Amino acid sequence: MKIFFSILWLVFVSGCTTTHYRSLDERIVGVWHLKDYGSGLYEYSQLGISSNGRKCVVSVEFNNDGEPDVSYYDNTWSIKDGVFISIVGDSPSSSLPKGYTIRDHIKRLNDSELYLLMESSSQYIPRLEKHQRLNGVSPERICEIVENYSKTVRNKSIKSDMEVPMIRWKSRLLTD
């Protein structure tokens, strides 16, 4: 009987001490909001990090006059040795062309916070980015917004490229 209670006790104790360990890849999936620092330009940014390796970013930065500058990024991601690696896919930014690799060191990652520090090889000194998890928001929703905005930007670009020949054509009609 003593052996039975000893085994029962071991099963109980081992059940209480077993914790489910989730990898960085599992813990980083979700939607993250960049916290405002209270100085400099105000930036509103959300990262949608999906389990299929897609990272979508919607960012609005307001200048001193309150004018917004909207950016979006549709990237792929992976984690290697504690570094969050993003490869730029679709972006309107000339400073982040397609294929550009961003390496962010993960300084903190828990259920509610993600702190990243970008590697920099230039004169640019990056700041520690502090993100807060947004519960109840799907990363796919952020990617959907990025896709829609990207299409809108491309359509506007195509229209403006077509306007110049149309103006020339109309002016020829008027002068002939």
Domain ranges of the chain: 21-160
Task: Quote the pLDDT of residue 43.
Answer: 82
Task: Quote the pLDDT of residue 151.
Answer: 84
- What is the number of residues in the chain? 176
Fold classified for 21-160? Lipocalin (2.40.128)
Task: Quote the pLDDT of residue 158.
Answer: 64
Q: List the one residue out of 56, 43, 48 whose CA is nearest residue 32.
A: 48
| Contact in structure between 57 and 75 (CB atoms under 8 Å) | yes
pTM reported for the whole predicted model? 0.73
Task: Quote the pLDDT of residue 18.
Answer: 47
Amino acid at 31: V
Which stretches of the chain drop beneath a pLDDT of 50? 5, 13, 17-18, 164, 166-171, 173
Task: Quote the pLDDT of residue 75.
Answer: 95
Q: Please give the helix or strand (H or E) that residue 43 lies within, else none.
A: strand 42-49
- Taking all residues of the chain, what is their mean pLDDT, rounded to a whole number? 81
Residue 47: C-alpha distances to residues 13, 93, 97, 140, 173 (Å): 40, 17, 18, 10, 50
Task: Quote the pLDDT of residue 14.
Answer: 52
